Copies of this chain bind each other. A is one copy, B any other.
Amino acid sequence: MKLYDCQMAPNPRRARIFLHEKNIDVEKVEHDIMGGETTQETFLNFNAWGTLPVLELDNGVTIRETPCIYRYIEDIQPQPNLLGTSPEETAEIGSWERFAELQGLAAIGDVFRNQMEQMSGRGVTGSAKIDQVPALIDRGRVRAKWFFEQIDKRLADSEYLGSNRYTAADITAQCAIDFGNAVGVPVPESFANIGRWLKAVSARPSATA
């Protein structure tokens, strides 16, 4: 398998950490999102959506969308389990994993995409030409604060985000939070439960992936 990757971007990192936790080593093909490589015809002929990561199987089939890569890898190599061991646990992990992406990473991504000159015309993930909307910078910060409040409350009651053990929900949340730190949307220190949890997930060998 090959992972079409971008070292600095949070979604490819979700896939890299997931693969690392599964002890699966794949070839990585670096792409420069900031430099515009994923908006070029060559890349769009490969993936018309313009998104990374993409997992290419040995038979040439490609898998887009990080949660679909999570599910594929879990299906072909169930251990260690990262997506749930029962229908109920799978639902609980899945809902927090989505929450981390759609309320956390998406909010922080809005701040990033709408404030960076290099992201001009790329206001949304994907290959559509979308103007930046400056109002989304502040809106992203408001949303991120609400996200931090919600997960801090959750982490007061639960050692990890999706379950009582490290799962894909934690992977997505740690990628969101580390990306927030990198682009000027840090977690306020008052959220002590997030601080405790972030220290634990960051100490895992997979965090360097």
Contact = CB atoms under 8 A, between A and B. Distances in A.
Interface of A: 48-49, 57, 61, 63-65, 67-69, 71-72, 75-76, 87-88, 90-92, 94-95, 98-99, 103, 123-124, 126-131, 133, 135-136, 139, 142-143, 146, 150, 153
**A49, A87, A103, A153 interface centre (most CB from chain B within 10 Å):** A87
A75 B88 CA distance: 9
A99 B91 CA distance: 20
Contacts of A49: 99, 103, 150
Contacts of A142: 128-130
Given A48-B150, A72-B90, 4 more contacts: A65-B99, A67-B98, A69-B91, A72-B91
Nearest to A128: B146
Contacts of A131: 139
A170 to B, nearest CB: 16
Nearest to A154: B48
Contact of A95 (B64, B75, B92, B124): B64
A57 B92 CA distance: 13
Contacts of A68: 90-91, 94-95, 98
A123 B139 contact: yes
Contacts of A123: 139
A90 B67 CA distance: 11
Contacts of A150: 48-49
